[in-house]
């Protein structure tokens, strides 16, 4: 069963699939495309996963995998 902690990996995976950057809505769509079954089987995470994607993006920024960005800008993986 997927957990909130899996979302950091999924955000990174989705961004790589999108060419290294994407708006949060595009990242959410890509995570859904890649992990719909995992999300459907994840219990309470199924109801919070889009909120938790933002938490995962924050964790990726704190660990240096994602650029800091202004509100309304796409999320970008660091080189």
Q: What is the 3 state secondary structure string of the chain?
A: CCCCCHHHHHHHHHHHHCCCEECHHHHHHHHHHHHHHHHHCCCCHHHHHHHHHHHHHHHHHHCCCECCCCCCCCEEECC
* Stated pTM of the model: 0.93
Q: Is residue 1 part of a domain?
A: no
Q: Is residue 38 part of a domain?
A: yes
Q: Is residue 20 part of a domain?
A: yes
Number of domains in the chain: 1
Q: List the structure tokens of 30.
A: 């890509």
pLDDT digits (tens, 9 = 90+) for 10-66: 999 999 999 999 999 999 999 999 999 999 999 999 999 999 999 999 999 999 999
Nearest to 57 by CA among 33, 29, 22: 22
| Containing structural domain, residue 34 | 6-76
d(CA 28, CA 38): 14
């Amino acid at each position: 069963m997927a957990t909130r902690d899996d979302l950091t990996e999924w955000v990174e995976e989705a961004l790589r699939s999108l060419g290294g950057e994407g708006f949060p809505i595009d990242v959410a769509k890509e995570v859904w495309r890649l992990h719909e079954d995992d999300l459907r089987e994840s219990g309470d995470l199924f109801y919070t996963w889009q909120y938790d994607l933002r938490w995962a993006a924050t964790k990726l920024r704190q660990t240096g995998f994602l650029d800091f960005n202004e509100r309304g800008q796409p999320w970008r993986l660091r080189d």
